[in-house]
Amino acid sequence: MAKELIVNETDKECRVALVENSEILDLLIHRSHGKEDQNYPVVGNIYLGRVLRVLPGMQSAFVDIGTDRAAFLYVDDAYIPTLKEQREMAEKLKEIQTEKEAKPGQVIHDEMSTLSETVDMKFRPDVKIQDVLKEGQEILVQVAKEPISTKGPRVTRHITLAGRHIVYMPYIEHVGVSRRIENDEERDRLKEALESIRPEGKGVIARTVAEGQSYKTLKKDYDMLVKIWKDVQKKIEKAKASNLIYHDLNFLQRALRDITDEDVDKIIVDNKSTMKQVEKFANKYLPQMKGKIDYYNEETPIFEHYSIDLEIERALSNKVFLKSGGSINVDQTEALVSIDVNTGKFVGKKTLEETILKTNLEAVKEIAYQLRLRNCGGLIICDFIDMEKAEHREQVYTALIEALKKDRAKTNVLPISELGLVEMTRKRTRDTLIRTMCEFCPYCEGTGRVKSVLTVCFEVIREVMKAVRRSPKSKIQVFAHPEVCARLAGEEFGIIETVEEIHNKTLSIRADNNYHVEQYEIF
């Protein structure tokens, strides 16, 4: 199974797609805004911030980090526990995790985040935000989530520095291994190596690509991250509040670091300048890619050649058709993502129950694929076609869990309910594909609908009736959209004539192309 990293670079835009057998495993898009890029709070950036407001009612605070919007800091991310508290909480977390794994129907697919592939370590001693932070206080924070929609970046005081193979945590004592490394012997080997590398009180996590790597390689990665951290500490001494202290790797370097694993057979680039950057980075951090970086120089654009552009277009549509003839409808709102499965043209060959099962199983693969491609996050509700048999529901649920294993984002999936619904969450660290590539329709203002011409006509008639009763003038003018005027002067003209006769008024209807279909004025 060929796995390739496709890099498309044009003026002020870079697109990176990880493709396996024509299926997109990951898609990253970056658009440059010149000088603004230096101020954009990228995940991994470290700032010396100043606390603007402490909100006891929300147990959070707003922090000025020198960007357009203040950063949001939650109490769990604001409090750095003592070493003793960390060790007590580590024991509790082990117990909680064991209980969760023992519960039937509770599935936690803990894929690591893009930044650090770190585990969710939430320290919950009885701490209040007002006891941790004060307004005007200067604190060191790191961006955990980039700005999404109208929300500013989310930051944390639990600093992590990500290398190629490991993650270094200067404030948290912890040794961990990515859960995507499933071999128990390899996990034990890595833990033992990391324990001998790290000093007491520090934390290290082996990333997925650390599998099979030597002690020497891990130690080299660790030493590099410690050096970066020491440089950060030196800068803090001279820095002023609300300023950037450490800028993470640029977009392309982060993409190469985070999604180029050992299974990638080739990196294909369509820009010579970009190719040199890739080769330089690979020589230092991706030695296994030596001789596997190719330059694409065909007439057909690279994303079109690999059918990536076609897949992006599918991902921007609300309806996605399945090969059988069925379909899924994906609706993204601020609160949640709803996915509806339909049989469509698919009528099956055997029983209705078999037809429904086959459609749902096909939809499962497409749903997992679209969630990755669109980068949907937060609460997700999947409405599968109702299945009467419990074994069919279990089959679809198991297939969904299996399909989600390809996803690098952390997901939490609950079993299918009696109504055929699946509730799940997917970790959100960056904006969705639709928000990145689209904007609200200026005509409907993002609602997806406008009043019908007939509805507007009746509104106009009611307003005209009010106007003729109040106004002593003998002539009334109506300005509206051409389609509304055409309807008023055509099918609804009888009502206009009646108004004129009863009230002894003259009504003049005038079309104006500049008017919105819902807009009208009466003079």
Phi and psi based region of residue 443 (left: phi greater than 0; alpha: psi -120 to 50; beta: remaining): alpha
Report the pLDDT value the prediction gives residue 447, as an integer from 0 to 100: 79
- pLDDT, greater one: 39 or 519: 519
Query: In whole numbers, what is the pLDDT of the chain averaged over residues?
Result: 86
222 in helix, strand or coil?
Answer: helix
Report the pLDDT value the prediction gives residue 77, as an integer from 0 to 100: 92
> In this model, does residue 328 exceed pLDDT 90?
yes
> In this model, does residue 468 exceed pLDDT 70?
yes
DSSP structure string for 392-426 = HHHHHHHHHHHHGGG-SS-EEEPPPPTTSEEEEEE
* Residue 230 binned pLDDT confidence (cut-offs 50, 70, 90): very high
> In this model, does residue 111 exceed pLDDT 60?
no
Q: What is the CATH number of domain 453-522?
A: 3.40.1260.20
Chain-centroid distance, C-alpha 290:
32
Collect contacts of 329-336 with beta carbons under 8 A, ≥24 apart: 330/370, 330/374, 330/376, 332/374, 332/376, 332/432, 332/434, 334/149, 335/378, 335/379, 336/378, 336/379, 336/380, 336/381
Element at 187 (helix H, strand E): helix 184-197
Q: Assess contact for 153 and 147: CB atoms under 8 A.
A: yes
Tokens of 127: 């701490």
Report DSSP state, residue 148: B
* Residue 122 binned pLDDT confidence (cut-offs 50, 70, 90): very low
Cα–Cα distance measured from residue 118 to residue 477, given in angstroms and rounded to the nearest whole number: 67
What average pLDDT score do residues 7-27 get?
91
> In this model, does residue 149 exceed pLDDT 90?
no
> In this model, does residue 211 exceed pLDDT 70?
yes
DSSP structure string for 30-69 = EE--TTHHHHS--TT-EEEEEEEEEETTTTEEEEE-SSSS
Report the pLDDT value the prediction gives residue 88, as an integer from 0 to 100: 77
Number of H helices, E strands in the chain: 16, 25
> In this model, does residue 96 exceed pLDDT 80?
no
What's the angle, vertex CA 343, arms to CA 338 and CA 346, rounded to 5?
Answer: 150
Angle formed by the axes of helices 308-315 and 352-374, nearest 10°? 110
Burial class of residue 41, CB neighbours in 10 A (0-12, 13-18, 19+): buried
Report the pLDDT value the prediction gives residue 101, as an integer from 0 to 100: 52
330 in helix, strand or coil?
Answer: strand
- pLDDT, greater one: 121 or 59: 59
Q: Assess contact for 161 and 229: CB atoms under 8 A.
A: yes
Torsion angles phi and psi, residue 515, rounded to 5: -80, 140
What percent of the chain has pLDDT above 70? 91
Report the pLDDT value the prediction gives residue 347, as an integer from 0 to 100: 61
Q: Residue ranges per domain, the chain? A: 1-37+248-313, 316-437, 453-522
What percent of the chain has pLDDT above 90? 51
- pLDDT, greater one: 34 or 372: 372
> In this model, does residue 313 exceed pLDDT 90?
yes
* Residue 98 binned pLDDT confidence (cut-offs 50, 70, 90): low
What average pLDDT score do residues 56-84 get?
91
Task: Measure Cα distances from 164 to 256, 279, 284, 497 in Å.
Answer: 9, 16, 10, 78
> Biggest alpha carbon distance in the chain?
97
Query: Range with the lowest mean pLDDT among 50-64, 246-260, 295-309?
Result: 246-260
Q: Which residues contact 483 (CB under 8 A, 6 or more apart)?
A: 453, 517
List pLDDT tens digits, range 240-257: 889 999 998 888 998 998
> In this model, does residue 160 exceed pLDDT 50?
yes
How many other β-carbons are positioned within 10 Å of the β-carbon of residue 253? 15
- pLDDT, greater one: 399 or 22: 399
- Amino acid identity of residue 496, one-letter, is I
Chain-centroid distance, C-alpha 65:
22
Q: Assess contact for 405 and 437: CB atoms under 8 A.
A: no
Report the pLDDT value the prediction gives residue 309, as an integer from 0 to 100: 94
Q: Tell me which residue of 175, 217, 1, 27 sits closest to 87, measured CA to CA.
A: 175
Specify the CATH superfamily of domain 1-37+248-313: eRF1 domain 2 (3.30.420.60)
* Residue 182 binned pLDDT confidence (cut-offs 50, 70, 90): confident
Cα–Cα distance measured from residue 400 to residue 336, given in angstroms and rounded to the nearest whole number: 19
Query: Range with the lowest mean pLDDT among 49-53, 141-145, 440-444, 509-513?
Result: 440-444
List pLDDT tens digits, range 348-383: 566 788 888 999 999 999 999 999 999 998 999 999
Classify strands 174-177 and 138-145 as parallel, antiparallel or unpaired: unpaired
- The gap between the terminal CA atoms of the chain, to the nearest Å, is 70
Q: Assess contact for 64 and 52: CB atoms under 8 A.
A: yes
